[in-house]
């Protein structure tokens, strides 16, 4: 069997195989079953390699895109199965017909990218090389615009392993590059190219060595009282019950005097979030609490305006808004122009007359008790840029009030939790996470959980943390891994046009 470089790099594509499409679908299913939150997340590299191989060996761009579409559709259907599963109990069977469109749209992006890269490269090995950078850039692009949904990034597959520590150098996108380099190297073997494996091996071993030798974070010196109310999310959505305040007041029993008290997203409804002025609404009057960070919401006129308020002895110190609004949950594109369509869907889901929240939000550092807290709300945490910005502006501790009760205790809860671990590693900060139904936890700067509460219990957690000043290379340099991903794409495309051995 010939194995010279000219043969491997410029090898013509093989004829279509009847098992290629089933191979792509099977690999997509296995990717979904191994990706977070499952313990075998790192094994997702193997089926990912199989899906890349299935696309690379097709004879035309259309066939490659077809294999990619059905393979990625299988992945997204498994990875995001919690979407309809979680919301159907509250919103009815119609959710099972609406939510899967997200799977189709995401798979369509992957298929379109495959078609473009295949068309430009024209050969299996340049295609595999270019897809490494292209898929990372697609992960980044999914986080742009009002419909941003950066879920399922492959860098999260490293969570739970020492390899995840590379996020402190280049963020989750650097982790995605490592996963994709490993997968493409495995796929290249089936085109008789073995020399990529040592390169991937060196990258993985170096990353592993960095993760294993990274210094332990400073020991916790402060305490926080994280209150998990376990309140029904749908009931709160359609109308706040006065008993909510009673639940949180009851959870204050036993709170240490020096602890900062943190309430989850939308724990308290107040009259106006954006323009709070003393005297405070009764919901925010906790005279016995010297340090309070409360997730608050204004639900007037059907729009959900979530924020975090810093309060001391019933005196408001400041607020910071939720920055990234959930598409079709808090922000409805073209709400006025497509009002009839929205009203029809809302009637089916029994949601009433929902309105789109104002997408222009203000982010501030909250100072409380001599400490600087970088607070972000729920959906904000899946955007690496926001916690990084808060730390670069001086935040010593990260705080995330969230409400994952919509997820129903399934995979969505644990996927979101894994993303928060990555945010702690990226920024080198302790992260205090308080969720309405869970998972409430304290995470150290290396992404390790210090304390956590189980799901669906009404309880307070005494969490430990430390305010820190040092910053990671990722905070200083940002998403430089995206530039590397772009360079890999360009190099692969240039090499695809050259017949020179290298």
pTM of structure: 0.89
Between the alpha carbon of residue 52 and those of residues 11, 187, 490, the distances in Å are 16, 7, 19
Looking at residue 296, its pLDDT comes to: 78
Contacts of 311 (CB under 8 A, 6+ apart): 280, 284, 286, 289, 292, 293, 294, 317
With 70 as the cut, is the pLDDT of residue 109 above it? yes
Mean pLDDT computed over 386-411 = 89
Angle at 456 between CA 450 and CA 460, to 5 degrees: 50
How many CA atoms are closer than 13 Å to the CA of 420, on its beta-carbon side? 33
With 50 as the cut, is the pLDDT of residue 54 above it? yes
The 10s digit of each residue's pLDDT in 477-500 is: 999 999 999 999 999 988 887 754
Which is more confidently placed, 406 or 44? Answer: 44
With 50 as the cut, is the pLDDT of residue 319 above it? yes
Contacts of 389 (CB under 8 A, 6+ apart): 363
Whether the Cβ atoms of residue 466 and residue 218 lie closer than 8 Å to each other: yes
The 10s digit of each residue's pLDDT in 138-173 is: 999 999 887 888 999 999 999 989 999 999 999 999
Mean pLDDT computed over 264-276 = 65
Whether the Cβ atoms of residue 91 and residue 350 lie closer than 8 Å to each other: yes
Between the alpha carbon of residue 230 and those of residues 224, 298, 474, the distances in Å are 18, 20, 35
With 80 as the cut, is the pLDDT of residue 110 above it? yes
With 50 as the cut, is the pLDDT of residue 267 above it? yes
| Integer Cα distance of 308 and 297 in angstroms | 8
The 10s digit of each residue's pLDDT in 352-390 is: 655 555 656 678 899 998 999 999 998 899 999 999 999
With 50 as the cut, is the pLDDT of residue 4 above it? no
Looking at residue 281, its pLDDT comes to: 62
| Integer Cα distance of 417 and 159 in angstroms | 10
Average pLDDT, the chain: 84
With 90 as the cut, is the pLDDT of residue 350 above it? no
Which is more confidently placed, 135 or 275? Answer: 135
Task: Look at 44-58, 155-169, 399-413 and tell me which has the smallest mean pLDDT.
Answer: 399-413
Helix/strand/coil (H, E, C) string of 388-422? HHHHHCCCCEEEEEECHHHHCCCHHHHHHHHHHHH
| Integer Cα distance of 179 and 113 in angstroms | 18
Using omega within 30 degrees of 0 as the cis cutoff, is the peptide bond preceding 279 cis? yes
With 50 as the cut, is the pLDDT of residue 274 above it? no
The 10s digit of each residue's pLDDT in 64-102 is: 999 999 999 999 999 999 888 877 776 777 778 778 888
Between the alpha carbon of residue 233 and those of residues 214, 226, 404, the distances in Å are 40, 18, 9
All structural domains of the chain, each given as residue ranges with its CATH number in brackets, are 5-215+478-496 (no CATH), 222-324+361-467 (3.60.110.10), 326-360 (no CATH)
């Amino acid at each position: 069997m010939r194995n010279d470089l000219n043969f491997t790099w410029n090898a013509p594509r093989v004829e279509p195989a009847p098992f290629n499409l089933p191979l792509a679908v099977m690999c997509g299913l296995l990717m979904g079953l191994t990706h977070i939150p499952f313990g075998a997340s790192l094994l997702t590299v193997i089926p990912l390699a199989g899906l890349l191989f299935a696309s690379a060996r097709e004879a035309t761009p259309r066939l490659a895109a077809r294999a990619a579409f059905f393979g990625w559709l299988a992945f997204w259907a498994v990875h995001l199965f919690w979407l309809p599963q979680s919301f159907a109990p509250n919103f009815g069977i119609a959710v099972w017909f609406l939510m899967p469109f997200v799977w189709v749209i995401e798979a369509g992006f992957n298929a379109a990218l495959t078609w473009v890269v295949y068309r430009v490269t024209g050969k299996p090995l340049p295609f595999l090389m270019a897809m490494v950078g292209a898929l990372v850039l697609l992960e980044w692009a999914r986080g742009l615009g009002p419909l941003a949904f950066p879920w399922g990034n492959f860098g999260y597959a490293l969570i739970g392993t020492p390899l995840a520590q590379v996020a402190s150098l280049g963020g989750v996108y650097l982790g995605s590059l490592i996963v994709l380099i490993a997968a493409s190297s495995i796929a290249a073997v089936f085109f008789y190219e073995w020399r990529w494996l040592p390169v991937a091996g060196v990258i993985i071993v170096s990353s592993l060595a960095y993760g294993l030798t990274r210094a332990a974070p400073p020991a916790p010196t402060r305490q926080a009282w994280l209150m998990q109310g376990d309140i029904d999310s749908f009931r709160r959505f359609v109308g706040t019950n006065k008993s909510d305040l009673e639940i949180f007041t009851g959870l204050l029993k036993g709170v240490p005097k020096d602890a900062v008290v943190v309430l989850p997203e939308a724990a308290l409804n107040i009259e106006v979030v954006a323009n709070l002025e003393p005297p405070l609404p009764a919901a925010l009057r906790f005279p016995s609490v010297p340090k309070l960070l409360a997730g608050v919401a204004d639900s007037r006129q059907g729009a959900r305006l979530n924020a975090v308020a810093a309060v001391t002895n019933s005196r408001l110190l400041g607020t910071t808004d939720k920055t990234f609004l959930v598409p079709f949950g808090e922000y409805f594109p073209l709400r006025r122009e497509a009002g009839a369509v929205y009203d029809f869907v809302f009637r089916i889901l029994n949601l009433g007359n929902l309105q789109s929240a104002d997408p222009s939000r203000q982010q501030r550092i909250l100072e409380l008790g001599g400490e600087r807290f970088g607070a972000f709300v729920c959906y904000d945490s899946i955007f690496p840029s926001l916690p990084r910005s808060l730390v670069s502006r001086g935040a010593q501790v990260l705080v995330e009030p969230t409400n994952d009760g919509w997820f129903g205790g399934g995979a969505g809860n644990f996927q979101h939790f894994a993303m928060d671990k990555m945010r702690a590693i990226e920024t080198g900060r302790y992260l205090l996470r308080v969720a309405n139904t869970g998972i409430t936890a304290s995470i150290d700067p290396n992404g390790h959980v210090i304390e956590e509460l189980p799901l669906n219990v009404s309880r307070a957690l005494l969490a430990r943390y430390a305010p820190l000043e040092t910053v990671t290379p990722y905070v200083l340099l940002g998403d430089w891994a995206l530039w590397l991903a772009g360079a890999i794409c360009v190099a692969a495309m240039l090499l695809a046009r050259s017949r020179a051995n290298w």
